[in-house]
Structure 1
Amino acid sequence: MMESSVSVCPVPSEQQPINEYQELKNSWFFRWATLDEGSYWRKMAWIWGWSWLLAGPVAAASFPPQKAVGQFMLCGGAIASLFMILALLRLYLGWCYVRDRLSNPTVFYEESGWYDGQCWDKPPEILTRDRLIVTYQVQPILQRLNKTFALLALIFGLGSLIWVFL
């Protein structure tokens, strides 16, 4: 009976791209990008809303709400959106890392520390499996995050346009 190439993989379990993908997919924060549309947007709104705890006082110091409501709202919304952008950036970078590890035909890994890195060439069946995961699981997540970035850019542009007329 022939051993499968998965069992002779020298890469430690926690550094195998498929396990890194599973860990990311199941983690508390990175799982947000895999949620259904409604839940995903609720999480984004949750970040934006809580960001107002810091954004509100900063905006109020610059634009007193009783005198400049429009500027206060736009400034506070922009500052709160910056926190959302940071969260989205972290999501995006995490998923890009896993995408790159899955797509790459060679896996770089460390046996016992940073000083003894090795490379392992994935067998064709593992490379095919990993690339299918990228195509059907990871790419849609990255596309969703890209659309969210584009929406935020559009909102910033509209906010800037409104600012000019205030």
Structure 2
Amino acid sequence: MRASVFDCPVPTEQQPLNEYEELKNSWLFRDTTLTWGNYTKKIFWIWGWSWLVAGPVAAASFPPQKHIFYFILCGSAAASVGLVLLLMRLYLGWFYVRDRLYSPTVFYEESGWYDGQTWTKPQEVISRDRLIVTYEIKPILQRLQITFAGLALMYLIGTILWHLL
């Protein structure tokens, strides 16, 4: 007789599929599942709000009346720091769940950190979890990697412009 998903000894909240569903539905992580257009709007929205902190700091260093280009470059870079931290949190969260789903074994804790156990997934669970990784999580991780690459390109362009001005 083959083991089914219901024979899983892992507590419900520690099962990789449930961790995935919880992450996908959480307010912070669900934005990564939006269409590219809506995702991009959210990224720019967060970056724009980061200017509330970055703008005054940049203005103190480079008064906009005297050094408008340095002010814009400095403020843009500073506003991106918050965005990078958020993107790192998103990437690490999705990466963790991807690893838990992709692994043929699941480490779990029964009642605390001192009594960890390992459960070997049956083949049907491994197949299901790997399909989720391939079709749901990998595109999200690729989207975040593209976002990081775009930010790195913007930093590079900003640095070049800074030295040319």
How far apart are residue 4 of structure 1 and its match? 4.8
Count of matched residue positions in the alignment of Structure 1 and Structure 2: 165
TM-score, structure 1 length as denominator?
0.97
Match for residue 136 of structure 2?
137
Q: RMSD across aligned C-alpha pairs, in angstroms?
A: 1.0
AA partner of residue 95 (structure 1): W
CA distance in 2, matches of 1:144, 1:127: 24
Which of structure 1's runs of 4+ aligned residues deviate more than 6 A?
none
User: Which runs of 5 or more structure 1 residues have no equivalent in the other structure?
Assistant: none
Please state whether the residue corresponding to 1:118 is helix, strand or coil: strand
Matched, 1:43 2:42: yes
Matched, 1:19 2:18: yes
Matched, 1:117 2:116: yes
Change beyond 3 A, Cα 1:35–1:87: same
Match for residue 7 of structure 1?
6
Match for residue 146 of structure 1?
145
Question: Kindly, what percent of the aligned residue pairs are identical?
Answer: 67
AA partner of residue 54 (structure 1): V
Please state whether the residue corresponding to 1:7 is helix, strand or coil: helix
Change beyond 3 A, Cα 1:157–1:142: same
- Could you report, residue by residue, the CA deviation over 1:51-80 in whole angstroms, capped at 9, with x for unpaired residues? 000000110111001000000000000000
CA distance in 2, matches of 1:151, 1:7: 43
Match for residue 65 of structure 1?
64
Match for residue 155 of structure 1?
154
User: Which runs of 5 or more structure 2 residues have no equivalent in the other structure?
Assistant: none
CA distance in 1, matches of 2:27, 2:78: 25
- Could you report, residue by residue, the CA deviation over 1:105-159 in whole angstroms, capped at 9, with x for unpaired residues? 0100000111110000000000010011001100000000000000000000000
AA partner of residue 127 (structure 2): T
CA distance in 2, matches of 1:102, 1:74: 41
